Every structure is written in structure tokens, then in C-alpha cells.
Chains A and B, each alone.
Chain A
Amino acid sequence: MKLKRLTIYGFGHFHDRTFDLTDGLNFLVGPNEAGKSTLTQFITAILFGFPTKKHPELRYEPLDGSRFGGEMQFVQADVTYTVTRTAGPHGGKVTLHNDTTDLALPANNLAGLLAPVDQQLFTSVYAINEPRLGQVFAASKQELIDRLRHVGAVGSDFWLTQAHQLDQQADSRYKPQGRNPILNQQLQAHRELTDKLAKADAAYGTYWQLLQEQQDLRQQQAQTQDQLAQQRQVTAQLTQQAASWPAFAEWQRLGQLADQPVPSGFSADDATQLEQLRGQVTATEKALTADQQRVQDLQQTAQLPPLFQEYLPVAAQVDPLLTQLPAVQQAAQMQQQLAAQQRDLQQRSTALETQYAVGGQMPRPFSLATLQQVKDLQERLTAANQKRRRIQQHLNQLNERYQQQQPTRQQQRNPLADKQLIWLAVGLVVLVGSLLLPGTLFKLVGALCGVAVGYYGVFQVDSSTPASRELEDLTADIRDNQAQLREGGHLVDDLTTQLDVIGEAHGLGNVPLAQWSAAQTAIAEWERLSRQMEEQGAQLAKAKQTIAEFLTAVGQVLPSLATSDFATVATQLADLQARQQASQTQSGELASLTERLRTDQRAADEASHALAIFLSTRNLRSVAAFYDRYQTQRERQNQAQQRTTLAQQIGPANLAALQQVADQASLTQSVQQAQTQQAQLQQTLDQTTTRLATLAGQLAHLTASGTQATLRQRLANLETQMVATTQEWLVQRLTSQWISATLAAASGDRLPQIVAQASKLYGKLTENRYTEIELTATTLRVRRADGAWRNVGQLSRGTAEQLDLAVKLAFAIVMQQQVAMPLLIDDGFVNFDADRRQAAYALLAEISQTVQIIFLTADTAVERLNTGNLIRLND
């Protein structure tokens, strides 16, 4: 296709404008806002339709109100066509006219003429502008292959359409993303159903749980039933026991009595025995009384003295007394004797006491040592007295002699002896006078003289005469004797004092020393008497006691004699004895009666004794006591019997159980507890039963619900549908892929050509800086002249745009046989440097030999190239 003329009715700011184009290179030059992009858009719009009114900025509707649209004349396969497009629905109103044959063609033939180029391919490959450069082919080989496939094979349109339809169908069945495709819906439904089923499956766990619970509960139910039965029994028992309580209480009370120790000897036999004994006692007593009565009668007839009558009943007791009587009488005599002796001894003792006793106190006898001492002292005293008497006699003689020699008493005196005082006084005077003398020596001599005078006066002057000497000797003798006498007196006094002390100590103070010896003898005598008196007193007391005892015994037996003295008693008893002996021999009847009485008495005694023994062995005091006990015993037997009856009534088991019970309250409590427990068990059982019924319902519901099965079947069905859908989808998808793969295979050999062509062009564009382009499945890379590889991302913007331009140009060149579309380049080289831009222009010129090129630019440099058809837009 080669564009011949563009006629614009109204598009953007163009109106009624016509551009004639050549087959080769056309430069449309104009500054900014001259309408370069408008023209590009115009060509695209005429060929492929106006954009919708949703994008008014792309529609370029004329602002001046002139007719929107235009027409374009082009040559295709040597046929000239004119297509007009004006405002209208669905991309504008189109008319198509075959100028060669001058025939109007159906508007929809336009697409057929353009095929396989559509708007997308046109804008992406053939309409080149700066923003699109470096964008379109940067992605991958697939993009390029898609383009190639689009135009690469004969009839590929149909297959592409089929593939597209298949893809659409497949998409309507399933898309990885989205809700509407069938399979997506089914998968969603499947998820929901699976969730539902999972929920329903939860019933499975519940089912086992319920089943387990059911099993447990059944077991529990059975257990509870057993327990309940047991508990009922227990309750019944306890209730029965509670009902038996009064009986039991009675039984227990009786039991307490029965528990007391049972004394033996209170049986009926014992009672019988007692009765016999009592009978015997009564009988014997009766016999005795009868006999006594008879004796009395007999005595009364025999006029027996009262004492004898008294005696008869107690003859047995009295007789021993009678045998004692002689001994007692002897004792009475001895008592009299002893009393006499006692009196005698008392007299003697009293005599001694009056003689020696001081203040009623008899002197004490000396001990042996004292006796010796006294004796010694007495001897010494005697000797001292004798010596004194001798001295006294001598003195007396001396005194007589003295009185003969000394007529006066004056003469006897020594005159000098009187002068002694004078001597002394002279001596003193001398002494004192010397002391008055001056000078020590004189004083000393004077003092010595005074002392010597005194001494002389006292000692040298005493000189006697021979007469006076004799007198003096006598006087001395007298004096000596007198001294001796005094000394003797002292000794006597001393001894006397010692003896007095002893005397005082032994109560002999009032007894002259001379009588001490006699006194000692008297004391000894007195003591002997005292002892005798004591002995006799003792004998006397004994005798008295014997008599007294005897009297008491007699008094007890024979009360009439109780107050009598012994002599009377003795007489009476002797009389009694005599009378008894007399009566024994005298009266046979009485005797025999007495004998009988005695026998009776014995029998009575024996009976009483037996009775007493009977009672004492039972530790009783009286028959009444026995009967009390006996009665008690019988009552006890009755109670025991009653108790046995009660025990039978209560029953042995209950009885044993009741015995374990503390009291009625606790029993009542037990009953209540048992009843409570029974009620609880019943409740538990009821609960269990109810729960089991509920469980059975739940299980039945779970089992019968069929939800699981229904859901599972629905799920299975859904899966079947899903598989069917998936299969359809997969078949469609694969078929589509198959078509694409086949088309790719058919057009695939063109790719290397394009890449080779692109390499060549790229070398020219980059002044051989880059030598090779490599297109892999996912990337595009280039080789520098030095052999290093560069990815598109590593290229500068300009170089990347050059690469893209090279690929697009190559594509256009290689696909020229299939598609001959003009290349529409809108200011594509703005990022190129001057050299490369020149190179690009040169390249365009070269390519324009085969491909129509419409180059819109603001670069006025093209005007100087002198190639191509130059159109100034502002003209």
C-alpha cells in the first residue's frame, strides 16, 4: 500500500487541506504545533476508524465546525482506491471507491485490503514516534513473533481468528483469575461444597463421641440401676430398722439389766432351801418356846427362885461361869490379901517419905561414884576437923603463954619502930633540899644523902631487943597457928560446900551429913516398897479385872445379877450351882426337859446358824433381802425372756445393725441419708435415661440426616462436571496453542531474516559501533564492535531508540512481500546526535527505495538533504 494523497475535510486545526505524497521518502516539515501528530493521527483514523467519543482528545474533531473527516487515495496491488471517513457511528462513516475501475466498494472491504495489518500492528510497527521508540520491542521475542505470526503465514488470519475464538471459549471456561468462567464457578462451588462437607464431616467426630457417650451411659445406667436396687434394699432395711427402734430400745434397756452380773444362789431352788431353813428355824423355835413354856410351867410348879428360872434358859452359858467360880473366888481372896499388903507397904512407904521427903519429893539415891566421893569427902572433912581441933588446942596454949609474957600491950611495942617516920621525913627533906642546891653534882650528892638517910631510918633502925625477940617468936607462932587454923577452916568450908552441893543435887539438903548413910538405906527401902506396891497393884488389878469380867459375863447371862457385887454374885452362883446340882439330881422331868430344852436350843441354834450361813454366803443380812434379790432375779429372767422375744421380733440382722447405731437420731439421719441417696441415684438414673434418649435421638438424626451422602454425591457430580469442563478447556487451550505453534512454525523462518536485517541497519545507525543483535526467547541484546554484549537496559536512550528503529525498519523491509504499509515516522530522531541523525536520514533514503516513508519533523535540516518530497506544513 502506498499513500498517494491525503485530503482533510476537517481534522484538528486542518481543514480543506490536501497533501500529495510520493512512493518514496516524504518529509513533512513544520515547527511545533504545525500539525505533525495530527497528520499521523489522521492517517491512522482514516484507515482504522475514529477513536470513540470517550477519548475526544484523540478524535481531533475540527474546532471551526467544518466537516469532520477526510479522504485518502492509496495504491494497493496496482489498484488505486479512495477511502473517505466522516463522522458516524462505529469509527465513522466509511466509503471505499476503486478509482481504477471507478467502482464503489463495500466499506467492509477496507479491512480486507489492510489485512493482515490492523490498527494495533500499524501503531506498534509502522507508526513510529519518539515515545513509542524503545518501547515496543523491548519486551521479548514473543512480541516480535506475535507480530510475525500476525502477518507471517498465508491464511493465518483465519487461524488466528480461530485461535483467538478458542482462547475466548477457553477463557469462558476457565481463567486462572476471575469469577465468571464456568470452571472458576465450579471450583468455587467445589470449595463451598467441600467446606460444607467438612462441616458435615464434623458430625463424624460427634458421632463417635456420641456413640462413646452412649456406651458409657449405658454402662453407667446399668451400674446406677444396680446401685439403686442396692440402695432401695438399704433404705428398706434402714426404714425397717427405724420402725424397730422402739423395740430395740426396749431390748437394749432390758439388755442393760441383763448385763448386770448375775449373782448365784438366788434361784428357785435356793428359795426353796431358804424356805426349808426358815421352816426348820420356825419349827425349832416353836419347839423351844413350847419347851420353855413347859419348863416355866414346871418351874412355876416347883417354885424355883427367879434366878434359877433365869438360869435355866441360859444354863449353857452359865455353866462355864460356874466352873470358873472357884478360881474367881480365889482371885477375890488374893485381892483382899494384896489390898492389905498394899496398905502395909503404903504405911511404911509414907513413913519413909515423911522422914526424908522434901516437898513431897523423896531424895534420890547416890550413884556408886557419888557414894565414893561422899565417903572420901567425909573422911577428908573429918581429918580436917581433927587437924583444926589440934591447932586450936596448940593455939590456946600459945595464947596462954603469950599472955604470961606480955603484961601490957604497950610494952610489947618497939620504940624505934616509931622513929622510922622521922628518918624518912629527914631523908625526904635532905633530898628536896639537895635539889635546891646549885650545881648538878651537889644535887646528886644531896639526893643520895637524902635516900641514904631515908633507908637508914627504915631498915637500919629496926633492931630489937632479946626480950622482945622471944615475944616476937611467940607472937609469930600464934600468928602461924592462927593462919593454919584459918587455912583449916577454909578447907573445912570447902569440903562442906562440896558435900552441900551433892546433898542439894540429891535432895538431901535437909538431911544432916551424918544421916546420909541412913538416908541412903531408907531410900533403897522405899524404892523396894514402891516396886512391891506396883507388883501387887498389878496383881490386884488383874484380880479385879478377872472378877469384873466374870461379873460382866454373869451380868450378861443373868441380868438380875448385873448390878450385884462379886460377893453376892459368888454367893448367888454358888447357890445356883448347888441348886442346879440339886435339881439335876432331884427332878428328872425338869432335867430331861432341860435336856430337851437344850436340844431344842441347839436345834434352834443350828437352824438359825444354817440360816445365817445361807444368808452370809449370799452376803445378805436378812431373809427379806434374799427375797428382794430373789424377786429381782425373777424379774430379770422375765426381762431376758421378753428380750429374746423382742430380738426375734427385730430379727438378728437388724439387731446386729441396730447395735452399730448410736442413737435414734443418727438412725433417722441414716434413713434420711439413704432416702436422699436413693433419690439422688434415681435422679442420676433418670438423667442418664433422659440423656440416653436424647443421645439416641441425636444419633438417629446424625445417621439419618443423609447430609454427608448428599453432599458427597453432589461433590462427586460436581467433580465430574469440573473434569468435563477442564477437559473442554484444556482441549480448546491446547488447540489454540497448536494453531499458534503451527503459525509460528510457518512464519518462524522470517525471524532470522529480520534479526539479520536489523543488525545491518543498527550498524549503520550507530556508525558501526554495534555489529550484532541477538534475540532470545525473553531478551534482546546487542554486541558492540569490541565484542562485548549489552542488554537493552544498558543502552543509552538514543541508542535504545536506534535499536528499536532498526528492528522496526527491518520488520517493515522483510515483511514487504506480505505487507506493504508506509512507515509513518513522527519526530523519531530527537534523541539522536547529529551524526547518527544524518546516518538515519541516509538510511531512510535507502529504505525508501522499497518502502514508502512519511517522515514528519520539526528539523529543518531535512530541507538541505535534497532528497525526497519536501512538504512544509505551514505553507
Chain B
Amino acid sequence: MKFIHAADLHLDSPFLGLTTLPSSLLTTVRQSTFTAATRVFDRAIAEQVDFVLLAGDLFDRAEQSVAAQAYLFQQFDRLNDQHIPVIISFGNHDYLADQHQTVAYPANVTVLGPDVTTHTLTLASGETVAVSGFSYPERWVPTDQVADFPAHAETQWHIGMLHGAVATGTSDHYAPFHVADLLAKRYDYWALGHIHHRQFLAEQPPILYAGNTQGRSINETGEKGAYLVTSQAGKLVPEFFPTAEILWEAATLPSTATDLPQLTTDLTDWLTANTATQATLTAVTVSSAALTGADLTSFKNGEWLALYQRTHARQLKAAQRYLIGAKLATNQAQPVAPQLDQSYWEQGAAIIFTTDNLQTTFGKLAQDPALAEWFAQPDTATQVHEQAEQLLAELMGEEAHDEA
């Protein structure tokens, strides 16, 4: 028997953390989630798999994407024509509740209900497979659902589908579970979804996240894809296959440049040496560079990068890289106040960098959801503090410079 385990297609969801994109890349980016998913289904048809498991987050319901829905209908039809069943357990992004979904998917598609249900398939080979799982009825499923999964059925194979995260004990909104509980079910395979970074939670039986099929932010670097699972000697063996159209990479540019022309040369050299195998959105961190004055300003406000993109388009294309950002490695130098006592600065910091003051200062901006979300991120405060220190250090340098 042979099946495909994929998850987190996130069809038609935008790429995050980009400011501008060249129009040449825009279409590719827009289509990338579809392209990746199509590769999954292409593979399913090419391999004539017995069925396809999609462990949630096929699309983002909140985004109300017509393209995503239309795409799914089209692809499911395609699989239907090939008599390949599809079993879906919706996750936190494509949870079940949707009054619009009045038009049913084709007959080959089984959407698991809000409670744990078991769908049994009889394969062409005569083998029988039970697939147990559930769909999120709403955005959050805060309780452990594993207990509701049945024991290994009378079928040859029993596969669990679960969109969720390992329980941490606090703020578990996504069907928290314990690996030991999954193992205790003695299933032959656990097809997990939700975590975008593919990983094995257990080797035998395989309990794994397929990861997403297309990375959508700088945090989702590396190859993305799905698993083709085949039965070998009574065991189910997953084999990864890549699907991503565009890769993300956070690269470090080792440069000790003190001015921008030097940095430009260093970056070009690095690009030549680090040609990507496919289109890669690259965020560069420059280590050890010591830029000052206008160079630093130009670097920091993105002018230099924009100029570089324009002037080095050929090299970038050759390297299949698109630079989405450049920053300097954080300088950890402590601010020194030449005239004011250091203790006054510390007193000031203690007053200013408090949650209350941060929130007061942030003020009305908290009303914007995107900004509020950013603001709520745990490392934002730290980041802001660090940057403020850096800014102060620069100002002090200026003062010292003025004095000098």
C-alpha cells in the first residue's frame, strides 16, 4: 500500500515579512502555495497512491480565498478521476464551521467530522486501512483528543490523523497531545499537521509532521514538501519529497567592510559563491561590518539594499536569490554617557522600558491588528530595548564625535 501524507498547504496565503517584491517574482510567489500543492497531487497520481491524507490547514478560512476553494475542487476532481480517495482533517486555519460550504467536495473526498471518526478503506490490493481523526470545529481545540481515538482496528493498517501540537501545559489551543499516548494506540502511522517544520516525533511507528508544502516566511526556511509512505515488510516507511517553489534562507554575510562599496563587493562575492538551487528569498545578516555615518544610515534605511537590487539584478538572478532584507549583526557595546552619570541612564531605562510604559506609548496603534500582533510577540520588547540602546550608543558616539 502506498499513500501520501501532506499538511499545512495554506493555499493562497500571502508571504509574510516582505516589503517589496519584483513583479517577476510576484506571480511565482502568488502561485507558489498552489504549485507546491499541485506537486503533491501530481505525485499522488504519478505514484497511483491508494489514498491521500491531508492533515489540516489546507487553506485559511479567514482569508476567504476563492482561488483556494476553486483549486481544491479542481484537484479533488482530478484525484476523483483517478479514483484516489482523499481524507481531510481540517485544522485551526480551515476549521469546519463555514456556512458557505454548501457545495460538497467530490465523492472521493472524506472530511472527518468534529468528533474523532474512523474511515475504513479497502484498497485495490484487498488490504484494509482504517484512518481515524477529526476536524477542528472552530479555531481552537484546547483539549487532548487522543483518548477519543479508537484502539487499532481489525484492519491491516490503522493510521491516525492529528492536527495539533505536543502539549506544553499552558496555552495549548491546538489539540495538545503526548507522544506516549499516540504510541499507546499502537497505530501503524500518525500523520500529523500544524507544525510547519517537518519532524519525526517517533521513528517506529512513524509519528511525524509533514511540515508545510511551501515556506511562507523567513522563519520557514529549508526544503518543504510532503511524505510518500509505502508499506515495506509490514511497516510503513515515509519518504520525503520536496514541493516548494520558493525557498527561504537566512544567510550570514561575513564581511568586515567599513564602507558600503566594500560591503557591496563582499555581497556580490558571497552571491557568486552561494548560488541557490532554486529561487530563494534570502535575508542577509552582515557580521562584523563597521559602517558609520551616512553609510550606516543608508544601510539601515534600506537605500543601499534597494540600490544593490537594482544594480546587481543579473548577479542575483544568476544566484537565484532575492534579497528580502539586510541587517547588521547586533553590536553589544554598552552605552557610555560621557557627561551624565551611568546610574541616571539606568534609572531612566527602569522607568521607560516597562510593560506599562510600552503599552502607553504604543497607545492607539494597538487598535491595528497587525501591529498589535507584532507588539504582542514576546521578543518585541527586547528587540525594541536593544535597538534603543543601539540608537543611544550611536548618539553618544555622535556626542563624543562632536566633542572630538
- For residue A87, CB closer than 8 A to chain B, the reply is no
Taking CB atoms, residues of chain A closer than 8 Å to B124 are none
B388/A212 in contact, CB under 8 A: no
- For residue B81, CB closer than 8 A to chain A, the reply is no
B391/A211 in contact, CB under 8 A: no
Query: A371-379, A503-511, A726-734, A856-864: which lies at the B interface?
Result: A726-734
Query: B163-171, B240-248, B346-354: which lies at the A interface?
Result: B346-354
Closest to B341 in A: A746
If the complex has contacts A162-B395, A730-B361, are A712 and B370 also in contact, measured as CB distance less than 8 A?
A: no
From 261 to 317 in chain B, residues with beta carbon under 8 angstroms from any chain A beta carbon are none
Query: B18-26, B112-120, B148-156, B198-206: which lies at the A interface?
Result: B18-26
Taking CB atoms, residues of chain B closer than 8 Å to A727 are 374, 380, 383-384, 387
A174/B365 in contact, CB under 8 A: yes
B361/A737 in contact, CB under 8 A: yes
- For residue B180, CB closer than 8 A to chain A, the reply is no
A730/B384 in contact, CB under 8 A: yes
B101 nearest CB across to chain A (Å): 7
- For residue A187, CB closer than 8 A to chain B, the reply is yes
Bound complex: CA A720 to CA B395 (Å):
27
Closest to A165 in B: B395
A720 in complex: contacting residue of B19, B30, B337, B402, CB < 8 Å:
B19
A187/B368 in contact, CB under 8 A: yes
Q: A731-B387, A735-B395 are in contact. List 15 more A-B contacts (CB 8 A).
A: A154-B340, A155-B340, A158-B399, A158-B402, A162-B395, A176-B363, A204-B69, A204-B100, A212-B102, A214-B103, A726-B375, A735-B391, A738-B353, A742-B337, A746-B340
Closest to A699 in B: B70
B12 in complex: contacting residue of A208, A699, A709, A746, CB < 8 Å:
A709
B370/A731 in contact, CB under 8 A: no
Taking CB atoms, residues of chain B closer than 8 Å to A706 are 30, 67
Binary interface encoding of chain B residues 56-98 relative to chain A, with 1 for a CB under 8 A from any of its CBs, else 0: 0000000111110111010000000000000000000000000
Taking CB atoms, residues of chain A closer than 8 Å to B374 are 723, 726-727
B361/A709 in contact, CB under 8 A: no
B19/A717 in contact, CB under 8 A: yes
Closest to A740 in B: B348
- For residue B52, CB closer than 8 A to chain A, the reply is no
Task: Give the dominant DSSP class at A's interface.
Answer: helix
From 722 to 754 in chain A, residues with beta carbon under 8 angstroms from any chain B beta carbon are 722-724, 726-727, 730-735, 737-746
B66/A708 in contact, CB under 8 A: yes
If the complex has contacts A187-B368, A208-B100, A719-B370, are A731 and B348 also in contact, measured as CB distance less than 8 A?
A: no
Bound complex: CA A723 to CA B371 (Å):
6
B361 nearest CB across to chain A (Å): 6
A738/B67 in contact, CB under 8 A: no
Bound complex: CA A640 to CA B29 (Å):
87
Closest to B342 in A: A742
Instruction: Please classify how large the interface on chain B is, using the bins under 10, 10 to 19, 20 to 34, 35 or more.
Output: 35 or more
Taking CB atoms, residues of chain B closer than 8 Å to A746 are 340-341, 344
From 657 to 706 in chain A, residues with beta carbon under 8 angstroms from any chain B beta carbon are 699, 702-706
- For residue B339, CB closer than 8 A to chain A, the reply is yes
Closest 8 interchain pairs by CB? A741-B348, A742-B348, A155-B339, A204-B64, A716-B14, A703-B70, A208-B100, A719-B370
Taking CB atoms, residues of chain A closer than 8 Å to B395 are 162, 735
A208/B102 in contact, CB under 8 A: yes
Bound complex: CA A712 to CA B15 (Å):
9
From 381 to 396 in chain B, residues with beta carbon under 8 angstroms from any chain A beta carbon are 383-385, 387-388, 391-392, 395
A595 nearest CB across to chain B (Å): 110
Bound complex: CA A217 to CA B290 (Å):
69
Q: Count of A residues near B, CB < 8 Å?
A: 60
If the complex has contacts A706-B67, A722-B371, A726-B371, are A208 and B101 also in contact, measured as CB distance less than 8 A?
A: yes
A737/B357 in contact, CB under 8 A: yes
Bound complex: CA A741 to CA B64 (Å):
48
- For residue B333, CB closer than 8 A to chain A, the reply is no
- For residue A474, CB closer than 8 A to chain B, the reply is no
Closest to B361 in A: A733
If the complex has contacts A703-B67, A713-B30, A722-B368, are A734 and B348 also in contact, measured as CB distance less than 8 A?
A: no
B76 nearest CB across to chain A (Å): 13
A207/B69 in contact, CB under 8 A: yes
Taking CB atoms, residues of chain B closer than 8 Å to A155 are 338-340
B398 nearest CB across to chain A (Å): 8
A194 nearest CB across to chain B (Å): 9
Taking CB atoms, residues of chain B closer than 8 Å to A204 are 64-66, 69, 100
- For residue A205, CB closer than 8 A to chain B, the reply is yes
A738/B102 in contact, CB under 8 A: no
Taking CB atoms, residues of chain B closer than 8 Å to A731 are 384, 387-388, 391
Taking CB atoms, residues of chain B closer than 8 Å to A741 are 347-349, 351-352
From 16 to 61 in chain B, residues with beta carbon under 8 angstroms from any chain A beta carbon are 16-21, 26, 29-30
B250 nearest CB across to chain A (Å): 15
Taking CB atoms, residues of chain B closer than 8 Å to A737 are 348, 352, 357, 361
If the complex has contacts A702-B66, A741-B348, A746-B340, are A734 and B384 also in contact, measured as CB distance less than 8 A?
A: yes
Taking CB atoms, residues of chain A closer than 8 Å to B380 are 727
Interface centre among A205, A704, A717 (most CB of B within 10 A): A717
Bound complex: CA A154 to CA B338 (Å):
11
Closest to A198 in B: B64
Bound complex: CA A731 to CA B349 (Å):
12
- For residue A471, CB closer than 8 A to chain B, the reply is no
A742 in complex: contacting residue of B65, B73, B345, CB < 8 Å:
B345
Taking CB atoms, residues of chain A closer than 8 Å to B341 are 746
Taking CB atoms, residues of chain A closer than 8 Å to B348 are 737-745
Closest to A201 in B: B64
Bound complex: CA A721 to CA B371 (Å):
10
- For residue A566, CB closer than 8 A to chain B, the reply is no
A700 nearest CB across to chain B (Å): 9
Bound complex: CA A738 to CA B12 (Å):
43
B370 in complex: contacting residue of A158, A214, A723, CB < 8 Å:
A723
Bound complex: CA A203 to CA B65 (Å):
9
Taking CB atoms, residues of chain B closer than 8 Å to A812 are none
B282 nearest CB across to chain A (Å): 16
Give 21 CB contacts A-B under 8 Å: A155-B340, A207-B70, A212-B103, A214-B103, A710-B26, A713-B30, A716-B15, A716-B17, A717-B19, A717-B20, A719-B371, A723-B370, A726-B371, A727-B387, A731-B384, A733-B361, A734-B385, A735-B391, A735-B392, A737-B348, A743-B344
If the complex has contacts A208-B101, A702-B66, A702-B70, are A720 and B17 also in contact, measured as CB distance less than 8 A?
A: yes
B98 nearest CB across to chain A (Å): 9
Bound complex: CA A417 to CA B352 (Å):
203
Bound complex: CA A722 to CA B372 (Å):
11
Taking CB atoms, residues of chain B closer than 8 Å to A720 are 16-19
A486 nearest CB across to chain B (Å): 151
B14/A715 in contact, CB under 8 A: yes
Taking CB atoms, residues of chain A closer than 8 Å to B65 are 204, 708-709, 712
Taking CB atoms, residues of chain A closer than 8 Å to B18 are 713, 716-717, 720
B365/A726 in contact, CB under 8 A: yes
Taking CB atoms, residues of chain A closer than 8 Å to B102 are 208, 212
Taking CB atoms, residues of chain B closer than 8 Å to A734 are 352-353, 358, 361, 384-385, 388
A724/B19 in contact, CB under 8 A: yes
- For residue A426, CB closer than 8 A to chain B, the reply is no
A209 nearest CB across to chain B (Å): 8
Taking CB atoms, residues of chain A closer than 8 Å to B383 are 727
A738/B339 in contact, CB under 8 A: no
- For residue A215, CB closer than 8 A to chain B, the reply is yes
A190 nearest CB across to chain B (Å): 7
- For residue A153, CB closer than 8 A to chain B, the reply is yes
B26/A713 in contact, CB under 8 A: yes
If the complex has contacts A717-B21, A738-B388, A741-B348, are A190 and B101 also in contact, measured as CB distance less than 8 A?
A: no
- For residue A366, CB closer than 8 A to chain B, the reply is no
- For residue A789, CB closer than 8 A to chain B, the reply is no
Binary interface encoding of chain B residues 315-331 relative to chain A, with 1 for a CB under 8 A from any of its CBs, else 0: 00000000000000000
- For residue A455, CB closer than 8 A to chain B, the reply is no
Taking CB atoms, residues of chain B closer than 8 Å to A630 are none
